[in-house]
Amino acid sequence: MKRIYLLFAIIVLTTSTVKAQTAIEFSDKMADITDSLYAKGSAWGTALNAARKTGNYTTLKPIREGMQEFIDKYILLVQKMKDVNNSKELRMAMIDLLKIEKQLTDSFRPFEAFNASTPAEKVQAELDTLTSKAKVEASYMEKANTAQAKYAAENNFKIEN
């Protein structure tokens, strides 16, 4: 019987949930997600810059995979979240943003096949393609920011920068 309780305790403690009680907490959860996306994207960008200098692109794959795991996890969690004080628009904007981020991280894959022998022109061509795709991301980020600002105004709180 103790094993069942222990197993239950482990499941409860390790199961990720995104539960928000108040409008501010809900907004903070959404901000935490975007902050994490930014940090993970910055880490990939830093690794790419280092790889371009050294020709060692092997460090990119684990970072991309970590980003994709994060994105997949939070798509599911945000989809399952209960809305708090009319948060549906913000929640849906976050889901849309996460989905576009997933598509964008798929565009990171070609870099993983590069090495020190890869011509600079080929690397630049992939960078140009990625830059073009990233422009779409900006509109989804703006949509999420607008939804968050509207949500804050409707619920009488200010968003900290």
3 state SS for 12-72: HHHCCCCCCCCHHHHHHHHHHHHHHHHHHHHHHHHHHHHHHHHCCCCCHHHHHHHHHHHHH
Note whether residue 41 is domain-resident. yes
Note whether residue 2 is domain-resident. no
Task: Work out the pLDDT band at 161, boundaries 50, 70, 90.
Answer: confident
Number of domains forming the structure of the chain: 1
Note whether residue 90 is domain-resident. yes
Q: How confident is the model at residue 1, as a pLDDT?
A: 47
Residue 17 main-chain phi, psi, to 5 deg? -135, 150
Residue 8 main-chain phi, psi, to 5 deg? -60, -45
Note whether residue 132 is domain-resident. yes
Note whether residue 109 is domain-resident. yes
Q: How confident is the model at residue 30, as a pLDDT?
A: 97
pLDDT higher than 50, residue 45:
yes
What's the mean per-residue pLDDT of the chain? 90
What's the rounded mean pLDDT across residues 12-23?
Answer: 58
Q: How confident is the model at residue 63, as a pLDDT?
A: 98
Note whether residue 10 is domain-resident. no
Note whether residue 1 is domain-resident. no
Domain that holds residue 108: 21-154
Note whether residue 34 is domain-resident. yes
Give the closest residue to 113 by CA, choosing from 51, 20, 25, 46. 51
Residue 137, amino acid: E
